[in-house]
Structure 1
Amino acid sequence: MSSREGISEVNIQPANSASISLVRYQAQLLTALRTRDLNGFSQVLQQAAVNADGFCLELACRNADCTEFVKLLLQHGADPNTLNPVLQETPLHIAAELGYYETLQLLLHDARINVNAQNGSHQTALHIVVSKCGEVCDDDDVARYRQCVGLLLDWPSNVKEWTTGAADLQQPLDVNTVDWLGNTALHYAAQNKDQYTILTLLEHGSYIGSINHAGDMPISGIEPETLEIFFNTRLKMPSDESLLFKYDFLVPAVDLDSVLMKNNFLSEDRDDVMMKLSSPTPEMDPLVHINLSPKLRHLLLHPILSSFIQLKWQLTQKLYYYNVAFYVLFVFLLTFIVVQQYTYAHHEHTPSCSSSLTVCFFKIIAFFLLAICCFCLIVKLVFHLLISPVQYLCKWQNYPQIILTFLVIIFLFSAWGNALTAITLFVAWTHLLLLTGEHPAISVYFQLFKKVSCTFIKYLAWCSFLLVAFSLSFYALFHNSMTYISERNTSITLFHSPSSSLFTTTGMFVGGFETKFLPFDSDTGTSHIIFILFTFFINFVLISIFTGLAVSQVQKVQRKAELVRLRAKVNAVSDIERMLLGNPLHIHLRMRWLYLSRNAVIVSIVKSSVCMWLLCNWLRCFRNVHRRVILFPDSRYEHANILFPFGSRSKVTCNYTMDHKVLLQAASIVQEKHNETRQQFEYQAMLISCDERLKNIEASLVRSEALQQSVLQLLSSPKV
């Protein structure tokens, strides 16, 4: 037993002494750090038995006057990426949160630093610094945090030499990293309304179309003036004969892979090809948001945005025409079948064998083609409802198509009467009007049609009280009077009920009713007086007002004609992108429902929508469809540039064309920027020249004073 105890003592004693020694040295480090004993701290670090402690580095980063301690710890091997297991943050997060510029600068000069390290909330140091810019109120603190933002964004180009660590540079800063809520640093800057930080982030590659888990874009919190200043920086003139358009801020940060690649959600034995699928994010999402915002809508006229819209329209206009042609075929097939049905029923008593067989043959073909078109409409409707139901249902132009789809299904597979046929034809041709009205060439007239219609409806809703007043007056006067209609050789009562009186009065208002049919009472002048008032207020006053309203709306639409055309292109291109690509971001957001809800119905709906999205994605990859709607399918920020020869309508490397007015507008902006820069240089040179003159004047004054003193001394000295 004694031997075993001796062996135990021999095995345990060195370990205990080592642990005691380590604890003692750590205590010495902490004591020197608390007392700010830099020499003692350095001597403890130089002992070979001690490794640099991550806890000491974290504690030093929490104090503004411990910059030299941080430097010593990094030089002696302390890991700048040490993660606190409780707080889930690194020294870089701590220095960023406290706004210690010198400490942050030391950490960033260590080549081992991971500037994209995330804390427990998946926030990087950039997230923390940008959010702090809006939380602090003191101007000095705001300036200090903004300096930290610039230090992070300029890394590693602002590092001339690595003071500590091996030259093993980590990945560069990703300004579009998202936290656990899906927010980028630009989201936090936009929430704080910090326009200076917003402009700084945009200039360093932040994507303005990032969508967080709440579905919000940072662009909603950016002022139009800030965006306009930034858009001006995206225009360059490398030479006098070329213009460079930089679309980096409109290109999505990455192609968002399906969440199924990270979460085993559908099955374990999925196809490897399906796992590698990547769906490109639509490029029109930021422009759609700008288009829907009354505050930002006018920015579509900026040449950097209008040129991008024109390029996208040139890329996708064939698909738009295919969609219009398909719907025109659908409407004509539906109209042909209805007309033939009524024609055959009208001439049923005198059928012709050859003609009836021909008509039946064409009718069968038309019915078959109509069924195929209806099936395509159903697939398109289901796809939209599964991929992006909220966006699809919030757009009122989609409801005629939904109603028409159900009406045609009833028309094809059930008995139908005159009322259902009339409603189906009316909805079909009305939707054709809406669809063709979205074309940019017709959009101005269609917008005029909508504006005038809405204005008249609003005004008529108020003026309807006057129409009701006159209709009830005519009902009280003429409800028992008979009117003889010579064309029909009969007498009728036009005002026998309030409803018929209202319809008759409305016909008199629009001019479709002759006044000779009014049974005026010759004994009293009441009916004549009321009719005179009706003629004055309705036929003269209201018609004049409606004419003036129409003219004013025409002038408003004409002033915004170019903006209306651009908005029509944005809507058309975004609809095509949504139809062909879906939106993987919405799939990503919908996947969260699976973890927030245990409802089997919701889970099945989400799974079916994801499976359909994967199937469509597979078809897109197989047919390479995304290259027909994505302008920069394979490029990153630095490649999202297009060079146009100034003064020409053709492009250098592609078949795209650009409106010469857009090029002239861009050139004027660039020239104005050059003039402003030159004026600033001239102003600075003038200030330097004035400063030098002031210094010369001050030197002359000093010499004059010295000379004056010497003269006074000579005068005051006694004469020899």
Structure 2
Amino acid sequence: MDVKNCGFIDPQGQLSAALANRDIREFHTALDNGALPNLQDERHTTLYEKALSTPGCAQFIEACLAHGCNVNYINQKLNKAAISYAADSRDPSNLAVLLRHGGVQLDRKYSQLTPLNSLAKNLTAENASMVGSCIQLLLEHGASPNVVDQGEFTPLHHVLKNRKIEAGTKKELIGLFLTQPQLDIDSYRNGQVRQMLKDQYPELSLPELREPGAEIDCERLLRTLRDGDETQFEQQFAEYHQNASGNADNQRNANQEEYLSLLEESIKRGKQRAFEVILETGININQTKLNAISPVELAVIWGNHRALDVLLKHPQLRLNSNSKLLNAVISRLDEQPLDDFCDHQRCLQLLLESDRVDINEADKGGQVPLSYAVKYRNIKVAQELLKHGAYIGARSAFGDLPIQEMDPKVLEEHFDSCITTNGEKPGDQGFEIVINYKNLMRRQQESGQSDKRPSIPHQLQDEMTPIAYIAESKELRHLLQHPLISSFLFLKWHRLSVIFYLNFLLYTLFTASIITHTLLKFHESDHTALTALFGLFSWIGIVYLIVREVIQFAMSPLLHFWSITNLMEVALIVLSILTCMEASYDKETQRVLAVFTILLVSLEFCLLVGSLPVLSISTHMLMLRAVSSSFIKSFALYSIFVLTFSLCFYILFGKPQVDTKDSTPEPAKEGKDDGHFNTFSVPIEALIKTIVMLTGEFDAGDIKFDSVYTYLIFLLFVFFMTIVLFNLLNGLAVSDTQVGAHFLFISGLTQLQINPLFRRRSRHRRS
């Protein structure tokens, strides 16, 4: 226990003390307790940086990497990378831990020096052994030996100039550099390195001389790019392109692939001048390597906003359906930039401002950019996407909407911004309210953009999906009162009301016709002409129902099969046909079919009446639907107890009675079958009798209690089922009724808000 801190230990202080004392166990304990190794102090220094730059801290570096530290960590204040801190330690073990994790940017500069340049420049007799091991590690892992510092000195040049180290050590280091196949000793400072090698070590075998007019290949251009010398690259590339332009067609295709490699490398390195030089050759920027990504996607991933800006404005750019640019950049906004040219936030702005990028593009899982912004809790990005017209009703592969996890305040504030005016005073004749419904409808591609993106087949969009979810969500339900939603519903109803009323009229005629025809048919009325007339009307109604179902299926096949109402309508069509046709089966079957037909017809008619935009009617229908649904769900669970008690009653009260000769009068024998229902002697009847008893109809006088156990079971049933369960179901019904009334009250307020808004004499314009 830490007495000074009253028993509480500061994990961050414990981590700092452990590093200072070189106590790796205490260091691990502090990390497990929540200490953050990459938390900056008042000097903008982290413990991770201290471990990297301190010799003998390999284990501490490993522990930091295991707890979330990045091998490409960059101090934003100093613009110094983790590899530069490790090089400052001059400890090969520190450097080896970092390099062992892979993906390290070995040639990133700090103060115009790469780690290799820094080590070679600070080589002394005291640290020659350790620095030599560090240089060897960097070269083995792919560090470029040709990157120059501000004085155009390469690492080998610094070693050759060094007179502080022993001759043997110096020669070993020079031999290490000469083993690198990409070593260039001719391109810098007029070939001074080659001359120094000849003068100091004439016995050494040197690489072939690179004459200024020597052949330049793609590998040499890539090395120049990696070395960071854009001026030299421009000179070499101009010569390379001039030689390649006169080649045959098949060679040109090969050159295009090489150009693509150079273009990708320039994007990764942030070499804008080299990027533009390659682009001027007319390279196909839509071309990709096998199983690779396009240059525009690469620019987004690496955060190279300058290259992305040029590519988005390129007239030949074609974005395919797999280019999820917005999703890619949103998922990387929280990442630490790898270099100065990396700016994912700027890339996001460029993509949003470009008319070539679909703001509702979806990945394989159906996740749109707005879903990514909500998932990463990035409120500012979500607001920007909404501002640029992101559709809030796009469903993912799992049926989720982007607004499901969104803060209601963010959505409400954006809805407020969608309602503006034309700048006139409210009392003026030309006053207009401008309402923008861009987020409630999926943005369609404009005709002028058809050459920029591949055409997308037109699909029917359900514009009511987001509004239906808002109505069902307790957190968002209050937004139904917002003028944006209410006015949208008003316009929607204004356009569809004719279809609704026409359907209601036709179905009403069909309901009256088929019920009248069924009654006349089964009562064998003498009015045969009237029966035939209503039969004809019924067949016309059946044809109408079939046409309606076919249209609904064509519009949305999947939703059609998952809808209980549509399945009920299909069953109604089948039963109506069987009822109206001249059947060859028996009368009893016809009567049963007719009964179910009338039930389904009446139920469908009731649903249509409940859909009328009359508050008093729709309120009752909504309450009926809510209570019925809640009761069915609850009773489905509690039916286990109903079945249990029915079996108990069947076993206790359904015992077969022993018939004694002439012990029962004849009239009683005649009425014996009428008592089966009350004696629980048949399992199915026992179940039905138990359900009836659940409502309070016991008929206890007809039940024969012959033991104390029968009384006990019956009293348990009365208490748990009739008193507790039935009252519980009634309570749920009352609760659902109150919720339904509240929801309809909100809808009523919405309707009241709609009417004054559109009864104005001012014009309404949809943006």
State the TM-score bracket (shorter-chain normalisation): 0.5 to 0.7
Alignment of 1:441-460 (within 5 A): 441=615, 442-457=617-632, 458-459=634-635
Instruction: Report the Cα distance in structure 1 between the residues aligned to 2:656 and 2:341, rounded to whole angstroms.
Output: 78
Q: Say yes or no: does 1:437 pair with 2:610.
A: yes
Rate the CA distance shift 1:444–1:144 in 2: closer, same or farther, 3 A. farther
Partner of 2:296: 92
Q: Say yes or no: does 1:320 pair with 2:500.
A: yes
The range that moved more, 40-49 or 547-556, is 40-49
Aligned residues: 508
- Give the 3-state SS of the residue equivalent to 2:523 in structure 1: helix
The answer to whether the 8 Å contact 1:186/1:198 transfers is: yes
Instruction: Report the Cα distance in structure 1 between the residues aligned to 2:742 and 2:493, rounded to whole angstroms.
Output: 23
Instruction: Report the Cα distance in structure 1 between the residues aligned to 2:626 and 2:473, rounded to whole angstroms.
Output: 18
CA deviation profile, 1:264-307 (whole Å, cap 9, x unmatched): xxxxxxxxxxx999776453344456567787666545442233
- Give the 3-state SS of the residue equivalent to 1:236 in structure 2: strand
Rate the CA distance shift 1:320–1:146 in 2: closer, same or farther, 3 A. same
Q: Which amino acid aligns with 1:653?
A: R
Instruction: Report the Cα distance in structure 1 between the residues aligned to 2:592 and 2:755, rounded to whole angstroms.
Output: 60
Shift of 1:406: 1.0
Partner of 1:396: 564
Partner of 1:152: 351
- Give the 3-state SS of the residue equivalent to 1:254 in structure 2: coil
- State TM-score, norm by structure 1: 0.57
Shift of 1:364: 0.9
The answer to whether the 8 Å contact 1:211/1:217 transfers is: yes
The answer to whether the 8 Å contact 1:444/1:561 transfers is: yes
Instruction: Report the Cα distance in structure 2 between the residues aligned to 1:61 and 1:230, rounded to whole angstroms.
Output: 40
The answer to whether the 8 Å contact 1:291/1:300 transfers is: yes
Shift of 1:553: 2.4
- Give the 3-state SS of the residue equivalent to 1:86 in structure 2: coil
Rate the CA distance shift 1:317–1:566 in 2: closer, same or farther, 3 A. farther
Instruction: Report the Cα distance in structure 2 between the residues aligned to 1:655 and 1:230, rounded to whole angstroms.
Output: 19
Rate the CA distance shift 1:282–1:537 in 2: closer, same or farther, 3 A. closer
Partner of 2:444: 254
CA deviation profile, 1:187-232 (whole Å, cap 9, x unmatched): 65567665543332222223334568x5867626752445444333
Q: Which runs of 5+ in 2 are unaligned?
A: 1-211, 246-255, 427-431, 448-454
CA deviation profile, 1:57-83 (whole Å, cap 9, x unmatched): 615533435234345666xx4548634
Q: Say yes or no: does 1:652 pair with 2:767.
A: no
522, 529, 549: which is aligned to 2:732? 549
- Give the 3-state SS of the residue equivalent to 1:560 in structure 2: helix
Rate the CA distance shift 1:145–1:383 in 2: closer, same or farther, 3 A. same
Instruction: Report the Cα distance in structure 2 between the residues aligned to 1:91 and 1:491, rounded to whole angstroms.
Output: 87
Alignment of 1:509-588 (within 5 A): 509-510=694-695, 518=702, 541=724, 544-562=727-745
The answer to whether the 8 Å contact 1:443/1:565 transfers is: no
CA deviation profile, 1:614-656 (whole Å, cap 9, x unmatched): xxxxxxxxxxxxxxxxxxxxxxxxxxxxx99986634633699
Q: Say yes or no: does 1:375 pair with 2:543.
A: yes
CA deviation profile, 1:135-191 (whole Å, cap 9, x unmatched): x57899999323311133235xxxxxxxxxxxxxxx655434567988754465567
348, 364, 388: which is aligned to 1:204? 388
CA deviation profile, 1:635-685 (whole Å, cap 9, x unmatched): xxxxxxxx99986634633699xxxxxxxxxxxxxxxxxxxxxxxxxxxxx
The answer to whether the 8 Å contact 2:440/2:466 transfers is: yes
Instruction: Report the Cα distance in structure 2 between the residues aligned to 1:278 and 1:51, rounded to whole angstroms.
Output: 45
Shift of 1:407: 0.9
Q: Which amino acid aligns with 1:145?
A: H
506, 511, 517: which is aligned to 1:337? 517
Rate the CA distance shift 1:504–1:282 in 2: closer, same or farther, 3 A. closer
CA deviation profile, 1:344-382 (whole Å, cap 9, x unmatched): 36xxxxxxxxxx3xx222211111111111122223333
317, 323, 331: which is aligned to 1:123? 323
Shift of 1:392: 0.9
Partner of 2:639: 461
Structure whose alpha-carbon radius of gyration is higher: 2
- Give the 3-state SS of the residue equivalent to 1:62 in structure 2: helix
Identify which of structures 1 and 2 has the higher relative contact order when contacts are C-alpha pairs closer than 8 Å and 6+ apart. Answer: 1
Instruction: Report the Cα distance in structure 1 between the residues aligned to 2:358 and 2:703, rounded to whole angstroms.
Output: 83
Shift of 1:238: 5.2
- Give the 3-state SS of the residue equivalent to 1:248 in structure 2: coil
Rate the CA distance shift 1:71–1:469 in 2: closer, same or farther, 3 A. same
Alignment of 1:278-427 (within 5 A): 281-288=461-468, 299-344=479-524, 356=526, 359-413=527-581, 414-415=583-584, 416-427=589-600
48, 58, 62: which is aligned to 2:263? 58
Rate the CA distance shift 1:565–1:51 in 2: closer, same or farther, 3 A. farther
- Give the 3-state SS of the residue equivalent to 1:249 in structure 2: coil
The answer to whether the 8 Å contact 1:207/1:249 transfers is: yes
- Give the 3-state SS of the residue equivalent to 1:344 in structure 2: coil
Rate the CA distance shift 1:106–1:452 in 2: closer, same or farther, 3 A. closer
Rate the CA distance shift 1:210–1:437 in 2: closer, same or farther, 3 A. same
Rate the CA distance shift 1:35–1:384 in 2: closer, same or farther, 3 A. same
Instruction: Report the Cα distance in structure 2 between the residues aligned to 1:24 and 1:81, rounded to whole angstroms.
Output: 22
- State TM-score, norm by structure 2: 0.54
Partner of 1:12: none
Rate the CA distance shift 1:485–1:310 in 2: closer, same or farther, 3 A. farther
Instruction: Report the Cα distance in structure 1 between the residues aligned to 2:605 and 2:754, rounded to whole angstroms.
Output: 37
Q: Which runs of 5+ in 1 are unaligned?
A: 1-19, 156-170, 258-274, 346-355, 570-642, 657-720
The answer to whether the 8 Å contact 1:57/1:78 transfers is: no
Shift of 1:101: 3.0
CA deviation profile, 1:20-61 (whole Å, cap 9, x unmatched): 999659888666544433444455678896899955861553
659, 675, 681: which is aligned to 1:493? 675
Shift of 1:420: 1.9
Instruction: Decide which structure has greater helix share.
Output: 1
The answer to whether the 8 Å contact 2:230/2:274 transfers is: yes
Alignment of 1:6-25 (within 5 A): 24=216
Instruction: Report the Cα distance in structure 2 between the residues aligned to 1:430 and 1:129, rounded to whole angstroms.
Output: 52
Q: How well do the aligned residues superpose, as a CA RMSD in angstroms?
A: 5.2
Rate the CA distance shift 1:55–1:293 in 2: closer, same or farther, 3 A. same
Instruction: Report the Cα distance in structure 1 between the residues aligned to 2:466 and 2:597, rounded to whole angstroms.
Output: 36
Q: Which amino acid aligns with 2:598?
A: L
Q: Which amino acid aligns with 1:201?
A: L
Rate the CA distance shift 1:454–1:28 in 2: closer, same or farther, 3 A. closer
Instruction: Report the Cα distance in structure 1 between the residues aligned to 2:325 and 2:221, rounded to whole angstroms.
Output: 27
Rate the CA distance shift 1:147–1:485 in 2: closer, same or farther, 3 A. farther
- Give the 3-state SS of the residue equivalent to 2:603 in structure 1: helix
265, 272, 275: which is aligned to 1:67? 272
- Give the 3-state SS of the residue equivalent to 2:420 in structure 1: strand
Rate the CA distance shift 1:210–1:535 in 2: closer, same or farther, 3 A. closer
The answer to whether the 8 Å contact 1:57/1:73 transfers is: yes
Q: Which amino acid aligns with 1:312?
A: K
Partner of 1:245: 435
